[in-house]
Amino acid sequence: MEKAKVSVIQLFAMMFLFELGSAVVVSFGIGAKKDAWLAILLGICGGIALFFIYYPVFRQYPDLPFTGYAKELFGKYLGWVIGLLYTVYILYSASRNLRDFGDILVASTMQQTPLLAVNILMILAICYVLYLGIEVVGRTAEVFIVTIILFGLVGSFLIWISGSIKLHNLQPFLENGWKPILTTAFPMTTFFPFGEIFVFSMLLPYLNRPELTKKAWLSAIISSGLILTYTTSLNIAVLGAEEVERSTFPLLSTIGKVNLFEFIQRLDAIAVLTFLFTTFFKVSIFFYGAVIGMTDLFKLKNHQQMVLPAGIIIVFLSMIIASNFAEHIEEGINIAPYYLHIIFLLIIPLLMLVIAIIRNRFKKKAN
């Protein structure tokens, strides 16, 4: 672990930007049709429930990353294997988000640029920041969270005054009943993005005031979740649920509808820049979590020697995980939530919590 500390404000900023990630641009929660906003609100509740699985275990080992207390709970060898599996899972998650970034940027603004070139440039920028350390990431997040909020306020204001919003597109409420809402909320919106914040269990030892972890974590989930709820509702109000479902990047289409006085128009750059900043932080956090995992598992002297190798692995994975964007999205909707997220974000953490509780009871009896 590098000798660095981040403040609770910096941790909140990193978590907030991480949660927005690519979810702010894609058709988030649209499996519930017009009630997507309700599926996202239920996803927030699911994310909060997951937090109360992760948090008690972290409180017992506040100075260790996740890979450290996996070895404490499961034993030296099994814990090491589980830590390695989580590190691979985090690398995979980083590569998925890098692929999101590359595909969206190529499709929206850089059609003639090879996907590999976009991904390499992004990962080089992230490598530079991570090489400098977690404090630099935290300070950068403090700056960019203000930028993102300003972009959101300006974009939202322009959409409202442009007259594009048709609130009847959000009606009727519960048109298809509760089933599509519940099946969208779990596992989809619960794990993506609210469960993915689990990766911060690798970074929490850097927090200068560990007792404020709960406040920062829950505030980030609730505030980012409400913004995602609003953004999805805005997309549906402007475009209609059917068009949002068909659209790959509905936020770009929504803000593209703004045309004031035949002068203020083509504002999709705001959405692209928002996505660029939020995805930069999402990939950075996953990337850094994987680096910390490798540094801890292989007993390396510092994290810096793993930054470039991990970056190369992430770029390689981002290119081979899917042959095209449609396949990449299909994998993210039908495979990752059921075969990866449930295991790594729910079942194993729940098992760790049970083991921690049992061990504590035995310790109390022994005393």
What's domain 8-358's architecture?
A: Up-down Bundle (1.20)
pLDDT at 367: 64
CB 69 within 8 A of CB 57: yes
pLDDT tens-place string over residues 46-68: 999 999 999 999 999 988 999 99
Residue 200 contacts by C-beta under 8 Å, 6 or more apart in sequence?
Answer: 11, 14, 15, 18, 217, 285, 289
Beta pairing, strands 259-260 & 264-265: antiparallel
Amino acid identity, position 266: R
User: What torsion do the CA atoms of 351, 293, 145, 237 make, to the nearest 10 degrees?
Assistant: -50
pLDDT at 1: 56
Is the torsion defined by CA of 149, 236, 248, 94 positive or negative?
A: positive
pLDDT at 279: 94
pLDDT tens over the chain, length 367 residues: 567 789 999 999 999 999 999 898 888 888 899 999 999 999 999 999 999 999 999 999 988 999 999 999 999 999 999 999 999 999 999 999 999 999 988 887 788 899 999 999 999 999 999 999 999 999 999 999 999 999 999 999 988 988 889 999 998 888 888 999 999 999 889 999 999 999 999 999 999 988 999 999 999 999 999 999 999 999 999 999 999 998 888 988 888 888 777 767 777 888 888 989 999 999 999 999 999 999 999 999 888 999 999 999 999 999 999 888 889 888 988 888 888 999 999 999 999 999 999 988 887 777 6
pLDDT at 2: 63
CA 156 to chain centre: 22
Domain ranges of the chain: 8-358
User: What residue has token string 């981040």?
Assistant: 6
Q: What is the CA radius of gyration of the chain?
A: 21
Residue 329, CB half-sphere, CA atoms under 13 Å: how many? Answer: 16
Specify which residues 207 forms β-bridges with. 6
Structure-block tokens of residue 216: 């920062």
pLDDT at 203: 92
pTM: 0.94
The secondary structure of 180-216 as a DSSP string is: HHHHIIIIIIIIIIIGGGGGGGGTGGGBS-GGGHHHH
